[in-house]
Chains A and B, each alone.
Chain A
């Protein structure tokens, strides 16, 4: 009995400890959100624990970020959503097709291509930054949407993800369909795709989260204010001295919302994407 009670007390202490540590951990983010709904005068007046509690809540900061004509925040958001959305849409299709071809439709040279793609994975993006800029510039894409989209459609890691999944589909499934008179495209479209929804979800979410936070590339190719993505754009919200802290915090919070939504609704696939990146080592 005594031991049981002791165990229970230990568990309770641990539960409370986790929550307290967790709150301490996210206090910077709490401060961001709380400051975003505070009147400007209170943000730096409230100190200590008080700074994490909104005494007077207001949505004015959000209103001015979203609806003031002088602030281009919504434009930045749209640019990000559009370009990342296109990467996700086109990327999952292109990478899935390629992976399926390499694993299931082996053709002359497919083995070599697989090796090359694996080798490409070790190249850090930063080391091709400048030549990539030269290539994209030669297409006349600087400050155009394709510069933010086209170079990121095909992605070695996404191809891996699909390869791992397609490898697990038994060949008998294909053979059975073949006997029923299906051609290879029908096999892919009617049997493989409907059975691969989880890997499509994982690849899509991983691509969204990765490219939503892209910074360096948009910084150099999208210098025109009308095409700036949100990660680059938020910097320009406070270069002029008129902008207020509450508004900056509102902008930071809004920038985070799309990924938060994905995390809330597709947590399983999101975490799967992260941990599957652990499998390939």
Chain B
């Protein structure tokens, strides 16, 4: 009898624990289902479709005329002078913005990490352009860059420098966008650097003090090496962000003058939603994705060393 009740007890407990486990499985399935359905419909499916459409002739104005045309869109793309201009502009923007913005962000982070009372004010001020959306900032700076009545030209005039065309000139438009973008975005990376600086052990600086290191030596030998991982991450996200450049040229220059601020994403938008050319635009999207992927893989490899 005792043996039997012991067996029942055991069975019961096994049975119970099994049901709990089973309950967990079902609940897990149930909990993840909404996210999985949404991710499939609005991310995985579109990724697949981008590839499929890129091999098709497909215009939104003629949705029934879809036909597979193999590599036609890609062939067209690599013969399109605008594509190479857009690629060059995107690369130029990234190559200038990434080091500049990261350096400014690091400088600001070091500044507001100092133990002075106004450091908090500095943090808020340097961060405030980030709080302002890119569209707002772009509209605002279009006025600031204005040739006749802009604040920047009036400031330059005050210093004895003649009016500059800024957004209206092929040579200055992209650089004007770069300057504004660094100003808008640096506060974001500053916050990440700041979090990294807080983790640098104070003892390292004290040791450097004892060795008689000056401020630059401390920065070069203590701060920078301690921020290695953070810097790598910041470089990565800034680069990917830079490649996605769209709002600034859309709002400020409409890609001009003479395509000097046309970027890959701008071209993608233009072909997809102004010319309604889904096939061609998808080919640009695939190439854009591969470019971003390649750059981030290269960066990852370089940064690991």
Contacts and interface: CB of A to CB of B under 8 A. Distances in A.
A130 B119 CA distance: 45
B45 A131 contact: yes
B50 A101 contact: no
B240 A124 contact: yes
B68 interface: no
B152 to A, nearest CB: 9
B50 A120 contact: no
Given A28-B141, A29-B128, A110-B32, A126 B285 contact: yes
Interface class of chain A by DSSP: helix
A107 B39 CA distance: 18
A245 B268 contact: no
Interface in B225-279: 229-230, 232-234, 236-237, 240, 243-244, 246-247, 250-251, 265, 268-269, 272-273, 278
Contacts of B42: 132, 135-136, 150-152, 154
Interface string B15-34: 00000100111111111101
Nearest to B49: A131
Q: How large is the interface on B (under 10, 10 to 19, 20 to 34, 35 or more residues)?
A: 35 or more
Contact of A31 (B53, B135, B151, B282): B151
Nearest to B265: A126
B112 A97 contact: no
Contacts of A150: 38, 42
A32 B285 contact: no
B125 A22 contact: yes
Contacts of B232: 281
Interface of B: 20, 23-32, 34-36, 38-39, 41-50, 53, 111-112, 114, 116-119, 121-122, 124-129, 131-137, 139-141, 143-144, 149, 151, 154-155, 158, 183, 188, 191-192, 195-196, 229-230, 232-234, 236-237, 240, 243-244, 246-247, 250-251, 265, 268-269, 272-273, 278, 281-282, 285-286, 288-289, 292-293, 296
Which 3 residue pairs spanning A and B have beta carbons closest together? Answer: A105-B28, A22-B125, A281-B233
